[in-house]
Amino acid sequence: MTPTARLQAAIDLLTEVLATPRPADAVASAFFRARRYIGAKDRTDVAEKVYGILRRWARLHWWLNRAGYGGANADGTAQPAVDARALLIADELLTRGRSASSVAEHFNGGKFAPLPLEAHERALIQALETHTLEHPQQPDAVVAEVPDWAADTLRNALGERFVPEMQAMLGAAPMDLRVNPVKGTREQALAALAKAGVQAEPTKISALGIRVRNRFPIATLKAFQDGLLEIQDEGSQLVAFAANPQPGQQVVDFCAGAGGKTLAIAAMMANKGRVIACDVLDGRLKRAQERFRRAGLHNIETRPLKSARDPWVKRHKGRFDRVVVDAPCSGTGTWRRNPDARWRQLGPGLSELLPLQAEILDSAARLVRPGGRLVYATCSLLPEENQDQVTSFLASHPDFTLLPVTEAWPEGMGAPPSTNGMLSLSPARHDTDGFFAAVMVRKEAAAGAPDADELEAEEAGEDATET
């Protein structure tokens, strides 16, 4: 493709991303599948242009608003709208350092090229020429690319670390792999990667992690196809370490999703015991089953739930040694991977998520046996979704106590990053996605107290009476 054709393809893709209520990666995948004629290098260039704009969204909009876009004039007339063309023009000038004439000549209306510039676009080019993306008058939230709905909370939580922590979210996330100990060792995995030409090294915190340093289609590797390797961020791997499941135990992954943590948990149990992967999205569980088979893990069952209060939970009260709740959340910890999530609400907002998290945690806690552990985790940096949820849960569930994550951690697996006894990870400090986890223990039943079977029989009798 010519440079002008790549620019038009980027305009087309960004237009689809902005118009489609789906995550940007899903939109991009569909876009390129429908255009098989676009080669690999061109796909990379087009995608980088679009994802770069999503990562520079606030700063680009600050400049566009300054240049008279997206608002109203003094006489009440509308200013030009901020669209994909305006964003690409601004990015070419401010980020890539193109000259005004260079940008203008690409909008020539030729075959596969963008349509000729309109008058307001020519004025935009003149207004932005010679400027760079950063400006001393930009507010901290703009510099850090943080949306209004999260800015105050993150600023209060992070204090003086607010800007550097958020700026660490602006680059692309690295690719991390997790070694499946059922299939082999990290040393064997590193050797297999090196043989295939993959530049990789052990992760700094996870004893099972590997970080890939060069672009490579990991899914084509025999080590991946044979189940020795799984793609999983180092931070996500550490949530399984916080659970520290033991061989032979009974474990529930209450919000299993695509099964990444389920795989890590089952492998830590050496294929012994029982892991039940639950989720309200049955389709995700079905797709995860192929991952379970590839990993050679046969101690996993799947259990679709109708809701957090599914009757299955009540029937299995007090039966499990470990219950992991990777709760649905704002995803603020994964903004490196999903830069559009900052600016587009494609699922429940924070006001809906907070009560949902509390309900899920409250229901899942019923599954924990006396002496068993409940692990609450999110990929969020917001205290409301993390420490505040744990504090609230413990206040309303006096039969649970917080277990410091340093005490829950597996022996020989290093030391976990801990804040007030809870796992707390961020890109700036740990070069992982932002993850949170807290481990809570259910107190042992007092002497003479009814056990889980007695409680279940009693509840069954109550249900029969109600019927």
**Ordered structural domains, the chain, with CATH:** 3-138 (1.10.940), 175-231 (3.30.70.1170), 234-453 (3.40.50.150)
Distance CA 273, CA 320 (A): 11
Contact 374, 366 (CB under 8 A): no
**DSSP bridge pairs for 274:** 250
Distance CA 376, CA 120 (A): 51
Contact 383, 390 (CB under 8 A): no
Environment class of residue 347 by beta-carbon count within 10 Å: exposed (0-12), middle (13-18) or buried (19+)? Answer: middle
Query: What count of residues does the chain have?
Result: 467
Distances (CA, A) of 243 to 254, 384, 391: 13, 22, 19
279 is in an annotated binding site: yes
Distance CA 450, CA 455 (A): 6
Contact 451, 445 (CB under 8 A): yes
Q: Are strands 250-253 and 320-326 parallel, antiparallel or unpaired?
A: parallel
- Tens digit of each residue's pLDDT, the chain (467 residues): 999 999 999 999 999 999 999 999 999 999 999 999 999 999 999 999 999 999 999 999 999 999 999 888 888 888 999 999 999 999 999 999 999 999 999 999 988 999 999 999 999 999 999 999 999 999 999 999 999 999 999 999 999 999 999 999 999 999 999 999 999 999 999 999 999 999 999 999 999 999 999 888 999 999 999 999 999 999 999 999 999 999 999 999 999 999 999 999 999 999 999 999 999 999 999 999 999 999 999 999 999 999 999 999 999 999 999 999 999 999 999 999 999 999 988 889 999 999 999 999 999 999 999 999 999 999 999 999 999 999 999 999 999 999 999 999 999 888 889 889 999 999 999 999 999 999 999 998 755 444 544 444 444 444 443 33
pLDDT at residue number 385: 97
pLDDT at residue number 446: 59
Hey, what's the torsion of the CAs at 132, 81, 341, 199, to 10 degrees? -40
pLDDT at residue number 445: 73
Closest residue by Cα to residue 48 from 467, 464, 442, 339: 339
Distance CA 200, CA 181 (A): 18
42 is in an annotated binding site: no
pTM assigned to the model = 0.90
Q: Which residues are catalytic?
A: 379
Q: Are strands 368-378 and 175-179 parallel, antiparallel or unpaired?
A: unpaired
pLDDT at residue number 447: 52
Contact 308, 366 (CB under 8 A): no
- 20-55 burial, b if ≥16 CB within 10 A, otherwise e? eeebbeebbeebbeeeeebeeebbebbbebbbbbbb
pLDDT at residue number 212: 96
Distance CA 200, CA 216 (A): 11
Count of other CB atoms within 10 angstroms of residue 248: 12
Count of other CB atoms within 10 angstroms of residue 79: 15
Closest residue by Cα to residue 367 from 323, 404, 336: 323
